[in-house]
Chains A and B, each alone.
Chain A
Amino acid sequence: MTQLGDLAKVLRSKNSGPFEITLDVLFDSKEQYDRVKQSGIISKRTICELYQIREEQIHHLVFFDQALGFKITMSRDISSGSVGDRDVYGAQQHAPLMKLSIEHGEEG
């Protein structure tokens, strides 16, 4: 079973402003990038299940071919540094994404 964390070169999370968290996944080869992109697994539905959020909380899910990466931006339940926030910089919210399993594509 191949996981997204094994294929990505960079897999991170960070605030994009105090009310959003953005997840970046970057690859160092076009093969790996295409494999993930074409697997179809990176969808709003997958992200909603992984992060237990509603679809309207996902503000963007975009692939950017030139940079060999994709980005997911979602709204925060609690804004950065407010009472109840557990991650002021939003820097450790990526971990659930690392274990996402990527099915083998047609090329195997």
Chain B
Amino acid sequence: MNTDIRILSPCGMLGYGFPEQSFMNGLAFELHGIVVDAGSTDGGPHKLGAGVSIVSKRAVKKDLDIMITQGLPRKIPIIIGSAGGSGARTHVNWTLDIIDEILDERGLQAKVSVIWADFTQEEIHLASEEGRIKGLSPNIPPLTRERIDSTNSIVAQMGHEPIVEALKQGGDIIVCGRAYDPSPFAAIGIYHGKDPGLSYHLGKILECGALCAEPGTTKDSILGTISDDSFTVQSLNPNRTCSPTSVAAHTFYEKEHPYILHGPGFTLDLENCRFEEVEKGVVRVTGSRFLPAEKYFIKLEGARRVAYRTFVVAGIRDPILIGKLEEVEEYVRNQAREYYREIPESDYRIQFYNYGKNGVLGSKEPESFDGHEIGVMFEVVAKTQELANSICATVRSTFLHYGYQGRKSTAGNLAFPFAPSDIEFGPVYEFSVYHLMEMKNNAFRIEHR
């Protein structure tokens, strides 16, 4: 039986917002799921390490309010992937609190299912001892005991399986911890018996909202429809449209390879896909191939605190100083080191970023510089916040007053935009775990509330 399965993706990131009219246009179709991705590692390790979100509670509530008040009475399952940004326990709880607030304020009731994606250090140690941990590329340090012990927050990207299970168990709102971005979308198709290759490929497109349309954006809604041998994508905003090229090109986005995608327990091969326009703005895709892996690996993500930072932003306009900036910075660095000679140099780092000259590319900047102004940002990262603050203050005062050779502006070298000039940043994190782990049993626990 060929029943079409329709999935509405309101936007590419929960809390990014979407035009309500686009969403309402989607409700005109018979929908089988409203699914939104809330996660990403793009913003760096801080969210996972510190247990915070990158979008505001206010914005998440605004988006979820529309999804819940419209979806729940129509009995359309609502799924949130990688809740709270990183999908760890604190992020999931933060999202659940917002959902509870909405249900309470709107006088609605729902079966809320939660799928946890957290892993304990003991579980990772065990996997490591059993040889179930695998590196991803040579530039990622091996997962040593020390590395596991110093990483408090470890999650793994779930596949569609636990989400399909939660759907079977009748969850109205399914809140996923960390998930492979397309998984929550793929779960809808697979739950309804559709081909996993088509379901995942569609998921890969839908998780970014209307980014596959032209003009593309993550802040608008998109509709996906899966049949037995193909799926279609179409924009829900008349000001955007999908074309075969725009949909084909989307598979490039944020992936290491244009047509081979590795997910939990499978590889998706899109090399021989066909993209065609079946009616104005409706693009049909065929040929997405799902290749189950011999061993089921999930991707682990973990972040740990490595240091504390203090930084200063200042402008430099003096042409003589601009002409010898690196030399002056080197002097300032050495002066600060000399002043704090009782502190081991391995306890802190002093770094300068010369914006306008090579702030983005650093030593790899190919262009020569002939500007008249430079924005300089310098930071001290150290073992403790107190140490970072102290050394940064010394770097700042030395830089401000240093009488370099040939100086005419003897009153000061830096134009600070703010007072105070030194900004205490707080802890700095790093991705300390980014490895594959072979999964033995389903490791993602489902809980109903």
A-side residues, CB < 8 A to B, are: 10, 14-20, 22, 24, 26, 28, 50-52, 56-57, 59-60, 62, 64, 66-71, 73, 75-77, 79-89, 92-93, 95-96, 99
A sample of 6 inter-chain contacts (CB < 8 A) reads A22-B254, A62-B257, A79-B431, A82-B430, A86-B362, A87-B360
Task: Compute how far the CA of A73 lies from the CA of B254 in the bound complex, rounded to whole angstroms.
Answer: 10
Contact of A69 with B361 in the complex, beta carbons under 8 Å? no
- Asked if B139 lies at the interface with its beta carbon under 8 angstroms from chain A, I say yes
Contacting B137 at CB < 8 Å: which of A59, A83, A86? A59
Is A18's CB under 8 angstroms from B360's CB? no
CA A26 to CA B259, docked complex, whole Å: 14
Knowing A26-B249, A66-B273, A73-B256, say if A96 contacts B381 (CB, 8 Å).
no
- A71, B44: Cβ atoms under 8 Å? no
Determine whether B94 belongs to the interface, using a CB cutoff of 8 Å to chain A: no
Dominant secondary structure at the B interface: loop
| Contact A18–B431 (Cβ < 8 Å) | yes
CB distance from B320 to the nearest CB of A (A): 27
Contact A68 B255 (CB under 8 A): no
Is there an interface contact between B249 and A69, defined as CB atoms closer than 8 Å?
Answer: yes
Size bracket of the B interface: 35 or more
User: What residue in chain B is nearest A50 (Cβ atoms)?
Assistant: B366
Of A10, A67, A81, A99, the contact of B251 (CB 8 Å cutoff): A67
Of all chain B residues, which has the CB nearest A30? B245
A26 to B431, Cβ gap below 8 A? no
How far is the CB of A51 from the nearest CB of chain B, in Å? 6
A68 to B243, CA, bound (A): 13
Per the 8 Å Cβ criterion, residues 123-161 of B in contact with A are 136-140
- CB pair A75 B257 closer than 8 Å: no
The answer to whether B256 and A83 have CB atoms under 8 Å apart is no
| In the complex, B265 has a CB within 8 A of chain A | no
- Give B299's nearest chain A residue, CB to CB: A17
User: Which residues of chain B are within 8 angstroms of A92 by Cβ–Cβ distance?
Assistant: 360
Contacts of B430 in A (CB 8 A): 79, 81-83
A24 close to B306 (CB less than 8 A): no
18 extra interface residue pairs, beta carbon distance < 8 Å, beyond A14-B42, A71-B257: A18-B431, A19-B139, A19-B434, A20-B137, A28-B245, A59-B256, A64-B248, A64-B258, A66-B273, A67-B249, A68-B245, A69-B249, A70-B258, A77-B139, A82-B428, A83-B381, A93-B360, A96-B364
